[in-house]
Amino acid sequence: MGNDGGSIPTRRELVKEAAKALTTQQVKEVQNEQQEYAWNHDPITRKPLSKPVVSDSLGKLYNKDTIIEYLLSEDGDAKKTEAESILQGRVKSLKDVVEVKFEVDNGGVNAAEEANGPTVRSEKWICPITNRELGPSAKAVYLVPCGHAFAGSVVREVSGETCLQCNETYAENDVIPILPTVATDIARLSLRMKTLKENNLTHSLKKAKGDKKRKKHAEKETNGATVALTSKEQDRSSEEDKKKDKPKQKPTINENIKSASTASLTKKVLEEQEARNKRRKLEQNDNVKSLFSNRDKKPSASNSADYMTRGFSISSKR
């Protein structure tokens, strides 16, 4: 048996042979299995793909309701944490995905569905030009921003940069391979996304959320270059600040009045109102005045006498 006191096995005896590397054929089989699963299942929920289907900047496919549920879920949720490990920060809003518009073959039925039931995608997606089924066996692409999907060979062979379905223009770099496996395609998509972020754009070519408004006297950005505020703009802004700091003044006569008679009449009315207001402030009610005594006025003897001596005069001689 070994290791019972009688004999101790060595590593050479326990490890008979090293693990063999996978052959090229085996690697292809594994990739095909992964591609078959990715073409039929949502990688986050593992449910079959069903329209509407969206794609991120790396060409991976998801159910649209899965992305919406992910964006609406709260931070710290276990499902959101698992989704974040799959998305790896590529999707932060619906602008970061594009809805892929597949042409559906209504007459055809997926053979895998007949065998496995509703566990895989039921629709058969085909190229609208070649009528060839899109899947792991055929390289497929979609266009940004319209999202129409075609066989990769169709887009390469057709001259021009307009969609064959909707005639919308697109750039050569906006042809996105679906579920790419070639390293050069993956590197190109990563570089494309980096360039879009530098231009404040998302995968769907829509503008990302704008930064906060710049503070006053900050530098303005124009065509990627920063231009400082001119001296005139600074003087204008300083004059506006001074106007805000000044106390509010009383309304004056409108200087824009063209008629001289109207202007003189307005001036006269304003002067009368001002004089009337001054008189109203100076005039006080007699009853209010009686409550206060005048310091300059000497008190009368009759009022200063007490009630016992009031009405009698006292001679100065004794």
pLDDT digits (tens, 9 = 90+) for 42-81: 999 999 999 899 999 999 999 999 999 999 988 888 889 9
**Token pair listed for 296:** 């300059």
Pinpoint the alpha helices (H) of the chain: 11-14, 24-40, 64-72, 78-87, 111-116, 152-157, 183-198, 231-245, 260-282, 286-289, 301-304
pLDDT (0 to 100) of residue 106: 76
Helix or strand or coil: residue 185? helix
- Does the pLDDT of residue 135 top 60, yes or no? yes
Q: What percent of the chain has pLDDT over 70?
A: 63
At 261, is the pLDDT very low, low, confident or very high (cuts 50, 70, 90)? low
User: Rounded distance, CA 130 to CA 180, Å?
Assistant: 20
pLDDT (0 to 100) of residue 244: 57
At 179, is the pLDDT very low, low, confident or very high (cuts 50, 70, 90)? very high
Of 169, 132, 168, the C-alpha closest to 153 is: 132
18 and 168 in contact (C-beta within 8 Å)? no
Of 36, 35, 60, 61, the C-alpha closest to 111 is: 36
Tens digit of each residue's pLDDT (9 = 90 or more) over 216-257: 444 454 444 444 444 555 556 566 666 555 555 544 545 555
At 311, is the pLDDT very low, low, confident or very high (cuts 50, 70, 90)? low
- Does the pLDDT of residue 163 top 70, yes or no? yes
Task: Tell me the range of 102-111, 128-137, 255-264 where mean pLDDT is highest.
Answer: 128-137
**Range 63-67, long-range pairs (CB < 8 A, 24+ positions):** 64/97, 64/99, 66/42, 67/91, 67/94, 67/97
> Tokens 């001679």 identify what position?
315
Domains in the chain (CATH in brackets) are 21-198 (3.30.40.10)
pTM over 0.95: no
**Token pair listed for 251:** 């309304």
Tens digit of each residue's pLDDT (9 = 90 or more) over 184-223: 999 999 999 999 999 999 999 999 876 444 444 444 544 4
